Structure 1
Amino acid sequence: MSKRPHILLATLGGQPQIVTFTLDLLLKDFPISHVIVMHPGANSEKMQRSLRQLQAEFVGDIYQATGQTIHYRPHVIKMDDEPIGDIIDDEHADATLETIHQLIADLKRQRYHIHISITGGRRMMGMLAACVAAINFDRHDHIWHIYTPDETVAQVKDGARMHVSPEAGVRLIRGPFIALGAYIAPGQTSFKTAEQEQQEQIDQQERRRCQSVVDLITPGQLKVLKAFARGLRTSQIARQLSISEATVHSHKHTLFQHCRTIWDLPASDSIDYHFFYQKFGTYFEDNYKS
């Protein structure tokens, strides 16, 4: 396991036990040393109670359940440097994105492995946090959802119990995501800037792959590839280029082999002519206008 520090980020609402349940399960496999809970402004008694209950779990940065040193702090969602009470419109959603992005980008600069729990709080906050994670995370980071059986939910609601035994059936589900953090430099000042740079990096890589295929093929194969990239079918290409459909199929087979190698696609992955349209359509529009 990597020696970099591990941190748990958790979205928080009125159910503080979600944070401790997640932490207890993660500690079985990961050396979590810090916990940060992300939440809207503490305007409601329910949120204030959640924060108090969590603070009581980390007295003097000692996690009371295990006696381990785990640093805890809350992190409020803000807009124009003012806490927001809820995500009620696009402006609040953008502010939430930026707040979470700034936090995660800063942690990535500090070389943390990040575990983000998106079960607590508003669903919108969890969804936005997952979007930020996809932009910033690499293969060492994780998104987690927690499953709690209905009978256990009734027993622990509103922090009535902050810890449960294994028999309670609480478990973590790893959330799938595409790790795009390798495509951008950590520490961008804006989520939108990071998103744009990440897309530009991906586009550049795709153009390089397309060019690698073009460099390998014959002029005849290039004509067939351009036709597929315009969305034409085999019979249409044969008529337009005045060649047999068998020749088109032969060129298509060779093109598939080159693409499978360049994109490093497993032999079990099926690709068809739609792949050419998807990957090469914009490439030829930008580079081979005729």
Structure 2
Amino acid sequence: MKKQEVLIATLGVSPQIVTICLDLLAQQTVQVEEVVSIYTANRQVKTALAQLDAELQRMGGPVHRPVLIGNDKKVVQDFLTADDATLLLQILYREVKCQKDMQRRVHLLIAGGRRVMSAYALVVAQLLFDEHDHCWHLFSDFWQNDRSCKMHIEPGDYAVLVPVPVLRWSPMVMRDAELAFGDDPWQVIAHQQELQQRERDVHLQAFLKSLPRAQREVARLMAEGLDNNAIAARRHTSPNTVTKQVSAIYAEWRVFFGLPENAPVRDRIVSELAGYFARHPDG
């Protein structure tokens, strides 16, 4: 059975972005059933929303459902605080998750509104998208000089939908997190980050085990922030010996993690192993 298609758009002061996107999707034989506009209570944005709603009604569809960024305590007029951005993330997450729960294919248009809206929309796409969903940006400027009237593509106009790559997180892990944490995107993100750190620690542990004992001890001292001379003094050995051991650690790191032969790695090794030993003092 073919999935229904929904367009979720971050809306700014240019309603044409949405109607042009619909025109271009129609050229791809995509039939959008519903448009969800994510908007702020800014006066100009509300004017654009009314224009979009009127145009979609004139077209005879698709169904238009505006979603205001806010809750029972606050309505966002512009993004001025971290709380405003948090509300935006929650709204975007809730709306995309709702569509995914209904087994719809989501087209996420991030060309409108403030930049923070595009950035947080991409975060939500990473959390919830599967291979059937699409994130779009719009390149078009023909309507700029006639914002109030020109809502659609005409012959000779330049407009193109550009697919935005979405690096999705593990779908199985994300589904478990969605079930556990419901509509709280911050908890879902924290859960995913915790799992990613655990996976990284497994790789770091395997790397350390791949080193000879003397090199493991040098690596631990590197993680403490010691330079080669300080490591040599601590281990009662020559700086030349430590230099050779450190070079061997660099080489093994590059091979283990698939890096180019001459890639600079010391800062990364120190940073990652410092965190690893802080979490696992016994190594």
Q: What corresponds to 2:78 in structure 1?
A: 87
Q: What corresponds to 1:20 in structure 2?
A: 19
The separation in 1 between residues aligned to 2:206 and 2:159, in whole angstroms, is 49
Q: What corresponds to 1:56 in structure 2?
A: 58
Q: What corresponds to 2:136 in structure 1?
A: 144
Return the match for 1:209 from 203, 207, 210: 203
SS at structure 2 position matched to 1:79: coil
More deviation, 93-102/82-91:
82-91
Q: Deviations over 1:75-117 (max 9, x none)?
A: 4134335883523543333222211111122334455554322
Q: What corresponds to 1:198 in structure 2?
A: 192
Give the number of aligned pairs: 273
More deviation, 239-248/99-108:
239-248
Listed as ranges, the matches of 1:240-251 within 5 Å are 240-251=234-245
Q: What corresponds to 1:36 in structure 2?
A: 36
Q: TM-score, normalised by structure 1?
A: 0.76
SS at structure 1 position matched to 2:12: coil
Listed as ranges, the matches of 1:1-290 within 5 Å are 7-27=6-26, 31=30, 33-34=32-33, 35-40=35-40, 44-57=46-59, 59=60, 61=62, 72-81=63-72, 84=75, 86-90=77-81, 91-110=83-102, 112-137=104-129, 141-149=133-141, 152-155=143-146, 157-158=147-148, 160-165=149-154, 167-175=156-164, 178-180=167-169, 182=171, 184=174, 185-186=177-178, 188-260=182-254, 262-263=256-257, 265-267=258-260, 270-288=263-281
* 1:285 positional shift: 1.4
Change (3 A) 1:165 1:193: same
Amino acid aligned to 1:24 = D
The separation in 1 between residues aligned to 2:37 and 2:140, in whole angstroms, is 20
Change (3 A) 1:55 1:195: farther
SS at structure 2 position matched to 1:105: helix
The separation in 2 between residues aligned to 1:193 and 1:173, in whole angstroms, is 31
Change (3 A) 1:229 1:42: closer
SS at structure 1 position matched to 2:112: coil
Matched-pair contact (CA < 8 Å) for 2:38–2:69: no
Across the aligned residues of Structure 1 and Structure 2, the Cα RMSD in angstroms comes to: 3.4
Change (3 A) 1:207 1:144: same
* 1:8 positional shift: 2.9
The separation in 1 between residues aligned to 2:74 and 2:90, in whole angstroms, is 13
SS at structure 2 position matched to 1:168: coil
* 1:10 positional shift: 0.9
Q: TM-score, normalised by structure 2?
A: 0.77
SS at structure 2 position matched to 1:73: strand
Q: Matched residues, percent identical?
A: 23
Q: What corresponds to 1:69 in structure 2?
A: none
More deviation, 244-253/89-98:
244-253
- Structure 1: runs of 5 or more not aligned: 62-71
Q: What corresponds to 1:65 in structure 2?
A: none
Change (3 A) 1:60 1:135: closer
The separation in 2 between residues aligned to 1:254 and 1:138, in whole angstroms, is 42
The separation in 1 between residues aligned to 2:13 and 2:79, in whole angstroms, is 18
* 1:244 positional shift: 4.1
